Amino acid sequence: MPDPEIVYEDADIIAVNKPSGLLTMPGRGDAASEKSALSIFRVSRRPLFVVHRLDRDASGLLLLARSAEAHRYYSGLFETRDIGKKYLVAVQGIVAEKKGEINKPLSQGGSGRVSVEFDGKPSVTRYETLEHYKDATMLEVSILTGRRHQIRVHMYSIGHPVIGDKVYGDLRRQSRWPRLMLHAYELKFTNRSGKRTALRLEPPKDFMSVLPFL
């Protein structure tokens, strides 16, 4: 697994290309000794703060803040939904509709697994079909909320689990894929100086190499 690379930086933030398989921040228990994106960059840049998280098996754009003030500002953008987030997601099966929205509340159990529950937190995912394969569909996904495993659970709930998802898909079927096919590829936001900023990161080789087999 390659180390993460810096794809953008300014006085407030570092935008990192996080590879699939790397933790966003130091784990607990058995994962406590593993490397994370935060620990790798804290070696030469202190202090650093995680603005938002990406699932371990997802890849893509991850923001780290250089100061407590920047962390408060950018975390606030995620909390108030004033930041645009787009993902490329390959899911099992053929998604018939060109565009769709999943509005289902989500709740996290004690095991860490997330499920759709009527009394869960409001969660909204929107998607657009980009391409059909033999038995899979590539989607561009936007999330209006930022719940744990939101895209994975929402897609699973409509019968189209994310390819390579061993938690919310059939384990025997999903184990054939080398990675989770979820990539955070675009962030749009207004920085603290009032400048509109757009970051985009194309999928890595390990993502693209799966496409011919879908």
Give the whole-angstrom CA distance, residue 213 versus residue 205: 14
- Distances, alpha carbon 202 to alpha carbons 104, 108, 206, 207, in Å: 29, 31, 12, 10
In the block, residue with structure tokens 């606030």: 76
Catalytic residue (one of 3, 10, 30, 55)? 55
Provide the sign of the torsion angle of the four alpha carbons 50, 55, 57, 62, taken in this order: negative
Query: Exposed/middle/buried for 40, CB within 10 Å: 0-12, 13-18, 19+?
Result: middle
- Residue 156 three-state SS: helix
Please report, as a single letter, which amino acid is at residue 5: E
Contact yes or no for 12/65 (Cβ under 8 A): yes
Q: Which residues of 110-145 are buried (b: 16+ CB within 10 A; e: fewer)?
A: eeeebbeeeebeebbbbbebeeeeeebbbbbbbbeb
Nearest to 143 by CA among 57, 54, 49: 54
170: annotated active-site residue = no
- Catalytic residue positions? 55
